[in-house]
Amino acid sequence: MSPIAPRSRGYMALLVALSSFGPLTMSIYTPVMPSVGTDLGAVAGDVKLTLTTYMLGFAVGQLFYGPLSDRYGRRPVLLGGLVFFTVASAACALAGSIGDLIVLRVIQGLAAASGGVLGRALARDVYDFKEMALVMSWVGLGINFSPAIAPSLGGLMAEWFGWRSSFWVVAGFGAILCAVVALGYGETNRHRSEALNLAGLLRGSGEMLGDRRFLGFVLTLGFAFALNFGMLAGTPFILQEQLGFSPREFGLIVLLSVGGFTLGGVANNRLIGRVAPTSILRWGVWCHVAALVAMAAVAQLGPLAWWMVIAPHMLISFGSGMLVPNTLAGAVGLYPKLAGTASSWAGLSQMGVGALGTVAVVLVEATGAVASPATALAVALAPFAAIGLYTSGLARPRPGGDL
């Protein structure tokens, strides 16, 4: 295989692939969650924990890959992460109990974090600050393809081969990526530090976390993913267990909501260069607020129907398609010499705060205080949308700022 040239189409394809296997691993699993409970004799709450623990592992993993790649280079750290992911995914496929799967999903999440963190760092290595919003928007459109088809694929495979097949698919994807990186990717980190200086790392992280704009970008990203992950945790059980849809049918219906992200990304691409990125991301947050209000309102109209959940989910996805590329570009673009570390903090917020969305859904449903499952979803996720409105304001540039 010939080397992949930076800024080439091949390089962009690599960025897309690296950034996609974390979301793909999550979305291919959601249609099979009820099947996991049936096969392993687990209640719905325990099965939902396998989604939460994956995200927690993913969040913690963000802290390591970025700083390590700033010191040792992107290539060796990325190769190690991909091997780790492939082995962990195969282990999940062989899990014998729900307890084993919960633990293994933490490990799988730790491994999967390598792709997103290093994909963003690789982008910052070769594109300048002003290009990042558009680059991340194109990456966002690209990586939306695999999570868009993954629920349908996961649902079909669950019916044909059982839920374990979804883990074998992502293990194979990890192995292919490992071969591509080993044979075609050359090092792009031009600012490699001479030592893994913990004090310097802490100072750099302290500077980022004391930066109002950096916090605005990463926290807004996190609250957006809390909404998306909360919806992923709640909708499979509503559509399959309460409304009777099969895993395959669920996967096809979810294409509508995931398609919202694509439409949001297209809208973002049209607006970049004409509208300030911070304004676009704020519009995305307002879409989140409107979606939750609409979900709570339509749930009062009568018996639960699939569109009462999927239509608001589509609007949440649309807002996220506008918001995510700009928050990622802003967070990583502010600190080019510590792109790996900045990417780690962005990913930690994305998955750590995002995991809280699934926890909130489980807690609200467990109380039984809200009878309608659609209303319960809206109630559980409303605080994240409200706080996101505030944090999106923090990302606004000072007079004369770049973004």
- The Cα–Cα gap between 116 and 15 comes to 9
> Mean per-residue pLDDT for 52-71?
81
Please name the helix (run of DSSP H) or strand (run of DSSP E) that holds residue 253, with its range, or none. helix 247-271
Residue 398: pLDDT band with limits 50, 70, 90: low
Q: What is the pLDDT of residue 92?
A: 92
CA dist 340 and 28 (Å) reads 27
Q: Is residue 288 predicted with pLDDT exceeding 90?
A: yes
DSSP string, 375-395: HHHHHHHHHHHHHHHHHHHHT
CB 346 within 8 A of CB 123: no
Closest-CA residue to 280 (of 261, 265, 291): 265
Instruction: Summarize pLDDT for 319-371 with one digit per residue, the tens.
Output: 988 888 888 888 877 777 776 678 778 878 877 788 788 888 878 877 766 66
The whole-number pLDDT of residue 85 equals: 94
Crossing angle between the packed helical segments 212-237 and 307-333, to the nearest 10 degrees: 150
Task: Give the best-scoring range by mean pLDDT among 124-128, 180-184, 196-200, 293-297.
Answer: 293-297
| Beta bridge partners of residue 272, listed in sequence order | 275
* Structure confidence at residue 192 as a pLDDT band (50, 70, 90): low
Per-residue exposure over 158-188, b if at least 16 CB sit within 10 Å of its own CB, e if not: bbeeebbbbbbbbbebbbebbebbeeebeeb
- pLDDT value, residue 298: 86
**Torsion sign across C-alpha atoms 316, 282, 66, 205:** negative
* Beta-carbon count within 10 A of 130 CB: 12
User: In the predicted model, is pLDDT for residue 67 greater than 70?
Assistant: yes
Name which CATH class applies to 9-184+196-394: mainly alpha
Higher pLDDT, residue 206 or 251? 206
Name the 3-class secondary structure at 274.
coil
Q: Could you give the CA distance from residue 110 to residue 84 in angstroms, rounded to a whole number?
A: 9
Which 3 state secondary structure label does DSSP give 151?
A: helix
Residue 23's pLDDT band (boundaries 50, 70, 90)?
Answer: confident
User: For 72-85, what is each residue's pLDDT tens digit?
Assistant: 888 899 999 999 99
- Averaged pLDDT, 235-255: 77
Angle (CA) 267-268-270 rounded to 5° is 65
Read off the pLDDT of each residue in 228-247 and give the average, rounded to a whole number: 79
Which residues on adjacent β-strands are paired with residue 275?
272
Q: Identify the residue with better confidence: 151 or 75.
A: 75
Cβ neighbours of residue 242 under 8 Å, at least 6 residues apart?
304, 373
Angle formed at CA 372 by CA 385 and CA 359, multiple of 5 degrees: 45
Residue 43: phi and psi, rounded to 5, are -80, 165
Q: Are the C-beta atoms of residues 138 and 276 closer than 8 Å to each other?
A: no
Backbone angles phi, psi at 272, to 5 degrees: -60, 130
Phi/psi at 22 (nearest 5 deg)?
A: -70, -55
